[in-house]
């Protein structure tokens, strides 16, 4: 089994679903194993970004009947966990489509809309440089656990570098490969002989590399590459092929006799390490998105609170105006009918003046009350705004102080690193000096040592 992600420079669309679920569905060679086609289509169509789809395939040499439904389910679930980790559980949509039209070989195709269902943000399930190692580990583990065919098996190497799932399209090249192999040791004893043989047969060689050649047949639209010992520049005599075949047989023996349990243990450890690294990556993204949402909600909450305060102030002012109107309209105006006509007019003028003074006084009192209440509420709002501003300044100061501390800490680390480097350099210099001094001392005492040993030898001879 191997894993392949389809190239998608234009971003993709629902055309990926149309390809996977075309006439093969009616032919019975395509079926949905997991997911909802309609939901996946709607999600893809709802994405406004250019990059919409991540699609790929798990390709098997085994037929669909050779792998149980339970095993397929386990492999699909395990692949989703390896690709997206537990941190993305419930946050993505995936559609699994089985194909069995490639000579009965099983293919598990997957389509993932590039959208985080929880945050509604775009995300890319697979970055080749960052994720290739993790997916390769997972693939090797599955091949060992389920006994699947391994593309790394030396016995599976083929000279013709072309997909064999549609043999009708490459049958002429397969025939040419058989012809070339039948001429090894006869008309072909080196790579130069091979090139001459093809030229004599009227076959065009479009490229000639160090370990391959590309050949184009008249019956085919594109050239195909042949790779291996026969097509290598090192093939200068027939003995090279014998040696290469022996080395290949040894590689196959080592591959088949390897310790699979140990290899599986090491792969699982490596996969777990890669999964933890990817999980930390998603955690950082989710925390950043949470902070952004919280900040947005807080801003909206502050705006609503300010609006409600303004509305309350307007209502308060309207009530004050209504009270003033009622006070002015409810002042009693009495007339003494027994007074003389002049007194009536005089008293009326005095009372009118008094009423106006009372009204003016009442209006002033109420206006002062309204003004004071309004000023009080405004003062409260201003005070709260000042407190929030002060909090922001304190937070900014704290952030700045923390940043300065981090900068100082980084500077200290760099200084300490330089000091350590100087110490290491000094240690190397001292070691070199000690070595040279030891050599000089050794060289200086060597004659005396030899002379002493000679004397010892002579004296021991006389003693005997």
Of the candidates 123, 147, 151, the residue with the CA atom closest to the CA atom of residue 4: 151
DSSP 8-state code for residue 120? -
Point out the catalytic residue in the list 19, 212, 240, 282. 19
**Residues 6+ positions from 105 with CB-CB distance below 8 Å:** 59, 60, 61, 62, 63, 64, 165
Rounded CA separation 278/137 (Å): 14
Is position 212 annotated as part of the catalytic site? Answer: no
Q: Token match 């006084």: residue?
A: 361
In degrees and rounded to multiples of 5, residue 96 shows phi and psi of: -105, 130
Cβ proximity of 210 and 233 under 8 Å:
yes
Tell me, letter by letter, the H, E, C secondary structure of 12-69. Answer: CCCHHHHHHCCHHHHHCCEEEEECCHHHHHHHHHHCCCCCCEEEEEEEEEEEHHHCCH
DSSP 8-state code for residue 111? E
406 CB neighbour count, 10 Å cutoff: 10
Catalytic positions, please?
Answer: 19
């Amino acid at each position: 089994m191997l894993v392949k992600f389809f190239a998608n420079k234009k971003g993709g669309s629902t055309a990926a679903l149309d390809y996977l679920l075309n006439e093969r569905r009616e032919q019975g060679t395509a079926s949905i194993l997991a997911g909802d086609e309609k939901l996946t289509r709607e999600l893809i169509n709802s994405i406004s970004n250019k990059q919409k789809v991540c699609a790929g395939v798990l390709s098997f040499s085994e037929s669909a009947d050779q792998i149980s439904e339970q095993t397929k389910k386990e492999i699909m679930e395990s692949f989703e966990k390896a690709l997206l980790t537990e941190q993305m559980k419930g946050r993505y949509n995936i559609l699994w489509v089985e194909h069995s039209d490639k000579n009965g070989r099983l293919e598990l195709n997957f389509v993932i809309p590039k959208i985080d269902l929880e945050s509604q943000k775009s995300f890319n399930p697979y970055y080749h440089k960052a994720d290739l190692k993790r997916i390769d580990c997972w693939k090797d583990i599955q091949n060992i656990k389920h006994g699947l065919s391994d593309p790394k098996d030396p016995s599976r190497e083929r000279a013709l570098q072309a997909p064999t799932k549609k043999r009708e399209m490459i049958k002429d090249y397969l025939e040419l490969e058989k012809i070339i192999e039948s001429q090894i040791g006869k008309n072909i004893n080196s790579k130069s002989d091979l090139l001459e043989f093809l030229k004599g047969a009227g076959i065009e060689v479009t490229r000639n590399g160090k370990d391959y050649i590309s050949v184009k047949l008249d019956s085919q639209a594109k050239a195909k590459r042949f790779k291996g010992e026969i097509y290598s520049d090192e093939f200068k005599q027939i003995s090279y092929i014998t040696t290469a075949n022996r080395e290949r047989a040894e590689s196959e023996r080592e591959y088949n006799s390897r310790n699979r349990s140990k290899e599986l243990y090491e792969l699982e450890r490596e996969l777990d390490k890669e999964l933890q690294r990817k999980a930390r990556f998603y955690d950082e993204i989710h925390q950043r998105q949470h902070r952004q949402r919280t900040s947005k909600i807080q801003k909206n909450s502050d705006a609503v609170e300010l609006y409600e305060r303004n509305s309350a102030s307007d209502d308060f002012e309207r009530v004050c105006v209504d009270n003033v109107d009622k006070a002015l309209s409810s002042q009693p105006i009495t007339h003494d009918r027994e007074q003389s006509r002049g007194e009536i007019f005089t008293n009326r003028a005095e009372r009118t003046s008094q009423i106006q003074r009372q009204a003016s006084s009442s209006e002033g009192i109420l206006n002062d009350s309204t003004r004071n209440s309004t000023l009080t509420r405004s003062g409260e709002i201003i005070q709260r705004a000042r407190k929030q501003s002060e909090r922001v300044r304190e937070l900014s100061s704290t952030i700045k102080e923390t940043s300065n501390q981090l900068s100082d800490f980084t500077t200290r680390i760099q200084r300490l690193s330089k000091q350590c480097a100087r110490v290491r350099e000094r240690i190397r210099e001292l070691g070199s000096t000690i070595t040279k001094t030891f050599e000089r001392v050794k060289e200086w005492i060597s004659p005396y040592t030899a002379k002493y040993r000679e004397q010892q030898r002579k004296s021991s001879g006389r003693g005997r």
